[in-house]
Amino acid sequence: MTNGKIARVRTAALAAVAIAGALAAGPVAAAEWRAWNIHVDGYPNTVAMDKFAELVAEKTDGRVTVKNFHGGVLGSQPDAIEQVRVGALQVGNFNLGPIGPIAPAANVVSLPFVFRDIDHMHTALDGEAGDKISEGMAEKGLIALAWYDSGARSFYNTQKPIEKPEDVKGMKVRVMNNDLYSGMIAELGGNPSPMAFSEVYQSLKTGVVDGAENNWPSYESTGHFEVAGFYSNSQHLIIPECVCINADLWNSLSPEDQEAVKEAARESAELQRELWAEREKTSREKVIAAGVKYNDITDKAPFQEAMKPVYDKYLAENPDIKPLVELIQNTQ
């Protein structure tokens, strides 16, 4: 290196130190967080995540901004959960289903029929059970800032109405990545097929799978109703969702910013829940108007009884979670 070059490098280095010093002393540069969301435009979660971004900027006076990546463009949900855990992404709107395999306490919500109805799920989540689930997630690097609704999931397929467990026999059914769901389908006599959300439409269309399960809004927004026209109201899973943030990032925030970000998430959840209630109705109306054959399952008992081995296996593998399951079951 020539002397001139050395001098220039040194000047540049000194300038960098000076800038760093100025930043440390003066206003901190705004942080931009990247946030993952799987849903399309107009979906309640998408609108609510946009609200979250707007509120974070407002409530932190611009110290933090959130850039949302909707439609799952940053990858599948299990991948995105991992990314937020390691800090490659900062925030995500996650369904607790794919979080369960990482955090056993969070997996209680994925036990089929563990919640009697949506109100039961809300009461449990807003109480001690919710705290235990949050703690279990925090231990794995995910801080749940607020809970979003995701309704109840029911079966749909390309062939016939499902009225009793035997109707699932031999059917290939797509599930989210979680052994509890694979166990659930297997106990009903079907063949579980864990698969990314984005692949389900094509798989139903081409007969790679015969059916899947989801709530009304996702059944509608994905167009699955166009290719799997029988929807049977089993309501076997009521899985909440979170707005989750990387734990180290969370711990590095000032108490003031933690409060601001938490408030933003909670207010976005209030909006999401309102929009969700509306969307459940409109999605249901839309698919039925489009010709979907819908049936209620009046007797859920045979489905519930078939789930006993799923519970037994989970509790044998996670004996310390038993009190949490009982806490939920005993929550009125």
> In the complex with ligand BDP, which residue's Cβ is closer, 218 or 233?
218
> In the complex with ligand BDP, which residue's Cβ is closer, 241 or 257?
241
> In the complex with ligand BDP, which residue's Cβ is closer, 60 or 93?
93
Q: Contact 296/233 with Cβ under 8 angstroms?
A: yes
Site string for ligand BDP, 72-111 (x = CB under 6 A): -----x-----------------x----------------
Binders of ligand BDP among 175-204, rule CB under 6 A? 176, 197
Tell me the closest approach of the beta carbon of residue 38 to ligand BDP, in angstroms: 5
Q: Which tokens is 187 given? A: 């106990």
Q: Which of 258, 254, 268, 244 is nearest to 87 (CA)?
A: 244
Question: In 3-state terms, what secondary structure has residue 210?
Answer: coil
> In the complex with ligand BDP, which residue's Cβ is closer, 145 or 253?
145
Site string for ligand BDP, 207-246 (x = CB under 6 A): -------xx--x----------------------x-----
For 228, phi then psi, to 5°, come to -135, 95
Number of H helices, E strands in the chain: 14, 11
Tell me the closest approach of the beta carbon of residue 244 to ligand BDP, in angstroms: 12
> In the complex with ligand BDP, which residue's Cβ is closer, 77 or 110?
77
Count of CB atoms situated within 10 Å of the CB of 127: 13
Tell me the closest approach of the beta carbon of residue 80 to ligand BDP, in angstroms: 10
Binders of ligand BDP among 128-147, rule CB under 6 A? none
Sign of CA dihedral 74, 80, 82, 88: positive
Q: Which of 214, 106, 241 is nearest to 155 (CA)?
A: 214
Site string for ligand BDP, 261-300 (x = CB under 6 A): ----------------------------------------
Count of CB atoms situated within 10 Å of the CB of 278: 11
Q: Count interface residues toward ligand BDP (CB under 6 A).
A: 10
Buried b (16+ CB within 10 A) or exposed e, 16-28: eeeeeeeeeeeee
- Amino acid letter for position 87: G
> In the complex with ligand BDP, which residue's Cβ is closer, 90 or 95?
95
Q: How far apart are CA 329 and CA 310, in angstroms?
A: 16
193 membership: H or E segment, kind and range: strand 191-194
Quick one: which of 35, 38, 102, 261 contacts ligand BDP (CB under 6 A)? 38
Residues forming contacts to ligand BDP in the complex (CB under 6 A) are 38, 77, 95, 150, 176, 197, 214-215, 218, 241
